[in-house]
Structure 1
Amino acid sequence: MTGLPLELPLPIVDEIEIDNSSNKRTARTATLLIMKELERCYEPSNAERSDICVAFARKGKPVYGKAFDLFQMLDDKPRSAKGIEQAIQDGTLRLLEVKSTGRAKIDEEFSGYFFSLSTAELLVAQALGDLYQFAFYNTTTKTLKLHTLNEIYKKAKGVYPTWSIRF
């Protein structure tokens, strides 16, 4: 043994550890960094998630609870059920689905980046248009890109429809 530690310490960005040791940890790290970078961007509590789904349903727009990771209030409304409903009414609440990577070779435009898109994400993105965006974050390069579904389709070099099934 050389006495060197088996694992290198994780870099810390303003008290957020960068952990790319698994896809789940990379996604969690990206979520925390996005909330730090975007103003009024929050990870919803269970109650907020429910309030968001109900408020959009009242407007005839289905939102599946697992189809978004974050929400952003584009104005200073409170995060209460009433504030969320008013923000949706005003078009000032945006839902974000986080797609993350820790690969250093992915450029700032995410060229060559391969990611999955659930049917729920697809349906909600179609229903909400610009109020639903995909937040692409590279935890190694600290690059954030926001794209609507239409922007993703314009950039796509290929689309490979699949179904994933879990027992």
Structure 2
Amino acid sequence: MNDGSELNVFQSGQKTASKAAAILVAKKIGFIIPTAKQKQNLLVAFAKQGKVVYGKAFDIVKLSDAVDLSDLAEVERNLDKVTIFEIKSTKKPLRPDFSKFFFALTGAEVLVAQSLKKQFKFVMVNTASGDHLEMDLAEIFGRAKGIYPTWSIMF
């Protein structure tokens, strides 16, 4: 019987990810939370370059220069200034280097990371301390002390 605790865990994780996104934006280092239209423009622009992106495989965008993500033509012209990120967040006490941080990667995230290479990164955020760490897929695998295959199922 489901007492709702599984849902609460999911909602708590979503709350932490939302807080993490707000922390990144507040640092004023180029992170923005894209709107649904802006996400769609990014998906289209990457697809036109033959790069696969799943909308749910990223949470936040970092721009190296000003780009109007609401304007598809501008996104296409300036796609090299865009890096998309998946947030992995925690509120647990951790060292600033995130050692001992345990998190999951979805199949979609791995596929997008492989497709976009340096234009897709993961950002680890500690919502308790405000620390963050940006890493690409190769860096994550290079630091991994263990990788545990799993099946994640949603009804």
TM-score, with structure 1 as normaliser:
0.82
Q: Does 1:84 align with 2:88?
A: no
Superposed displacement of residue 38, structure 1 = 4.1
- In the alignment, the residues of structure 1 paired with residue 28 and residue 53 of structure 2 have an alpha-carbon distance, to the nearest angstrom, of 22
Higher helix share: 2
Describe the shift of the 1:157–1:58 C-alpha distance in structure 2 as closer, same or farther (beyond 3 A).
same
SS in 1 for 2:101: coil
Q: Does 1:101 align with 2:67?
A: no
Indicate yes or no: 2:112 matched with 1:124.
yes
Structure 1 gaps of 5+ residues are 1-20
Structure 2 counterparts to residues 2-151 of structure 1, below 5 A: 22-79=12-69, 80-88=71-79, 91-104=80-93, 106-151=94-139
Larger Rg: 1
Q: TM-score when scaled to structure 2?
A: 0.88
Instruction: Specify which of 139, 142, 146 is matched with residue 158 of structure 1.
Output: 146
Q: Using the alignment, how far apart are the partners of 1:87 and 1:72 within structure 2?
A: 13
- For residues 128 and 163 of structure 1, what CA distance do their matches in structure 2 show? 24
Name the aligned partner's letter for residue 103 of structure 1: K
The count of residues paired between Structure 1 and Structure 2 equals: 144
How far apart in 2 are the matches of 1:57 and 1:29? 30
1-structure distance, mates of 2:13, 2:42: 27
Q: Considering only aligned residues, what root-mean-square deviation do their CA atoms show, in Å? A: 1.4
CA-CA distance at 1:33 after TM superposition = 0.6
- Whole-angstrom CA distance in 1 between matches of 2:129 and 2:59: 21
Residue type at the aligned position of 1:94: T
| Cα distance in 2 between the residues matched to 1:58 and 1:38 | 30
Where do 5+ consecutive residues of structure 2 fail to align? 1-10
